[in-house]
Amino acid sequence: MLLDDLLARRLIVLSGKGGVGKSVVGAALALAARARGKRVLLVEVDAPLEASRLFGGPPSRGRATEARPGLFTVNLDAAAVMDEYVRHMVKVDLLARRILASPVYHRFFAAAPGLRELMVLGKIMVLEESRARLPRRPAWDLIVVDAPATGHGLAFLKVPLAASRAIPVGPVGHNARRILKLVRDPARTAVVVVAVPEEMAVVEAVQFHGLLADELGIAPAAVVLNGCHERRFSDEEEAEILRLIGSGREGELGGGVPLPAALRAARRQIRRSRLTRFYQRRLRRRLPGPLVSLPFLVRDGIGVGDLETLAERLEAA
């Protein structure tokens, strides 16, 4: 089963076009892992709205915060992670405070290419390697990372490769090589591509999938097609709905629902489910590996019950 394969790793990185629901998929995946008894950390990067709200939990404020029993969330701010790194490297508190207060330091952090991404990935590596004091076991059984959208996501994952080549010596170069080893290790890390059944999202998913393999040597573990409109009618029912629409039939259904309105809603569902199946076939033809489809949830807002529904689908995949 797909979940068995994913949960055999310690780090799962999700990426996809903006707006495909990576945060929701990540939260559902974290719930599915928690249901199997794992201690899970869901990591976001500079998220304006944190996933903790989906569980009814408080904002993390940069620290791992328990949103549900056994499920923690943290939102990593790159500037705060960089400040933490400076304090770790500069052991003298007075000197560290002077560096952090320096305008030169802030200009350097703002201008240095890839530094923000490298610091965040370094923090994720530290979290993956962290151990509980007693007993000496990993602090987290699984870390799920809601990575930046695909346009920035590839650059996010390529930064340690570029840094390891550009900085051959010193702690930054050493850590870049350690990070690169972690993200490339298929026994420890899985990359999951998230899309929705729409043209641009599917195109970006296919491109991202190929670039990961070509430029980083990473084969994504799976593709999740989120927001799928599932088929609700048989072939015969679809044909009858379309016939009734063409006939201009009037009337009402039970509850006073106008027949034309119900038929229009049914036609939209038919079109969307056909479009979903079209993109499912396209992704299966174009990409190797498993494809998981998650249903479109007709809700004003996503709640814990909806996440549990998605978690069950992931469990059954």
Q: DSSP code of 70?
A: T
Residue 178, CB-side half-sphere exposure with 13 Å CA sphere? 17
Q: What is the pLDDT of residue 151?
A: 65
Q: What is the pLDDT of residue 260?
A: 84
Q: What is the pLDDT of residue 18?
A: 87
Give the integer Cα–Cα distance in Å for 4 and 118: 30
Look up the pTM and report it: 0.90
Q: DSSP code of 214?
A: I
Q: At what angle do helices 150-166 and 115-129 cross, to 10 degrees?
A: 90
In order along the chain (317 residues), what is the average pLDDT of each group of 10 residues? Answer: 91 92 94 95 88 82 88 91 85 83 82 83 92 79 87 81 82 87 94 95 93 91 95 90 84 79 90 96 94 86 88 92
The sheet carrying 11-16 orders its strands as 65-68, 71-76, 40-45, 142-146, 11-16, 189-195, 222-228, 291-295
Q: What is the pLDDT of residue 99?
A: 84
Superfamily, domain 2-231+280-316: P-loop containing nucleotide triphosphate hydrolases (3.40.50.300)
Q: What is the pLDDT of residue 200?
A: 94
Query: In the chain, where are the structural domains located?
Result: 2-231+280-316
